[in-house]
A and B are shown apart, each in its own frame.
Chain A
């Protein structure tokens, strides 16, 4: 049996075309359901569409579409099973999933060595949010609004409680309010807005009283999700808003189950699908390391009765001795007679154990709580405090994982790129460090906004950013980065005394084949060339 040439490409292309229409239909169905929550017919039709995507995405070359659609399907089945009407939050989740599906279809994969259409700058990496700032101090409000707008948060500013509640435009995703308003307290505003929101996503930040612990406790009890002291730390505000963004657009958590019993693995998979987890089952413990690299799970479940080597204890020890996985939550599955050993394993680094027969509710609670905390810890550890991109160690870990991952035949190698701000020192000297920081934040935000979910951005040094780009060849990458840098150069930054200025960047590009050191060296040389030949340009390694 030979594979006819172009067979897979044909499948992909036809799927892409047919899917566009389907997605349009799904969006219309969601609109209909949001207007009438009791519309069962539309709900069932929407379910069929998700089911259709789940079943065919992977077959036609879009495995992520199957995964995304599966979640939509599971969510709706769960509603139907409980005979419940969808809530506004359900509707938002579906819209987000449909948008994900659309995104997965929108970028053309450039085949290796083929004529490259430069990939589109996809405005999807930072999902849109809306914010309402309620504060009488105009200058501060304007500054906060500026920061948020740059991070793809569409922001409105008002100065009183009445103006906030009078708002047309619906509930914002994030409400940022002074504790003391001219016509009332920020807490009253939060309470009123939550009532009006009626279950829709809403996070509230109180700006206010410095210091007082009990004041903060009171704020949280009265409905605030976060308390920030004034004068507001820009970085803290942005990090908090991005945390809210993660909560609103939750990507599914990845769970790895190591279990030689396929039926048990499958059963766990189905239980956790309800909690929006992507579960992979590894039946061969000897493959653990490579599966870990491939999946990069946020939580691992290990069955204790693994026969032979490596056993559960071996896997635990391996995890805990590695820098990368030391904080990874691990849940063990044990039979009643092995509970003593399970308790011992807690000492070796297990977080908890579940005793068979596995109670699905218990499993879900243990997993969800730990995933949330692990996410928060990981975010803090892995992201640069100022710019919110990955730190250098986290970026390098991603590179290592990428290199270790099995590459599909004919897949283009990812592209490594170093972006370096030109003459950054003089920006700091002439306009001050605060302006310099804003430039860095601005570049990072642009990169995060314009690159795709599959691309990785890290902060390498003071004014250097590293990018790892997938599904693009060298020419396509060059065109992409050139466009990005042109966009950045066009930005007017504000310095001291109403001065404005712009900043350019140079960049070096090289393919990441099998060695990070080699690729880095090539990128360095290319970047040096760019600087040497006049800056504000992109050079591809020879």
Chain B
């Protein structure tokens, strides 16, 4: 499984990479912002995209719309990464079409499994 993680913070990307690669055996591609994310998504055709909600300039919600609008990426399931305090947004995001949400701080040991569970749910 190949996952694209889009997050402006390097430490987040690093820990997500470690958690998905070392624990989950997944392949990981990174992007630092919405635009780079859209480009990498087209190039790499990941099986899933893990997308941070809070990013400067082009935030998670805008990036989501961007990815949905492009024919090459519109079918890729997108899972949001967001802090607890904003989980009231969860339902809104799901209605918009997100596959699911991972709350921060996440458990690095279970991130890969949690992601798999979200992706395999109806």
Contact = CB atoms under 8 A, between A and B. Distances in A.
B58 interface: no
Contact of A57 (B25, B105, B108): B105
Interface stretch (B8-16, B35-43, B62-70, B71-79): B8-16
Interface string A49-61: 0011011111110
Contact of A11 (B9, B18, B83, B87): B18
A232 interface: no
Interface in B1-59: 9, 11-12, 14-15, 18, 22-25, 54, 56
Contacts of A60: 15, 105, 108
Listed residue (A4, A10, A52, A59) with the most chain B CB atoms within 10 angstroms of its CB: A59
Nearest to B8: A48
Contacts of B98: none
A59 B113 CA distance: 15
B52 to A, nearest CB: 9
Interface in B88-111: 88, 104-109
B15 A270 contact: no
B119 interface: no
Given A51-B83, A270-B85, A18 B18 contact: no
A213 interface: no
B29 to A, nearest CB: 20
Contact of A1 (B24, B84, B108): B24
Contact of A55 (B105, B108, B113): B105
Nearest to A15: B11
Contacts of A74: 85
Given A1-B24, A51-B54, A58 B105 contact: yes
Nearest to B82: A55
Contacts of A51: 54, 83
Nearest to B10: A18
Interface string A1-35: 10110011011001100100000000000000000
Nearest to B12: A56
A7 B18 contact: yes
B108 A8 contact: yes
Contact of A59 (B25, B56, B108): B108
A239 B88 CA distance: 43
A51 B53 CA distance: 12
Listed residue (B87, B104, B109) with the most chain A CB atoms within 10 angstroms of its CB: B104
Contacts of B113: 1
A56 B15 contact: yes
Contacts of B104: 54-56, 58-59
A4 B105 contact: no
A4 B22 contact: yes
Contacts of B85: 70, 73-74, 270, 273
Given A1-B23, A58-B105, 6 more contacts: A3-B23, A8-B109, A59-B104, A73-B85, A74-B85, A270-B88
Interface of B: 9, 11-12, 14-15, 18, 22-25, 54, 56, 83-85, 87-88, 104-109, 112-113
Interface of A: 1, 3-4, 7-8, 10-11, 14-15, 18, 48, 51-52, 54-60, 63, 66, 70, 73-74, 263, 266-267, 270, 273
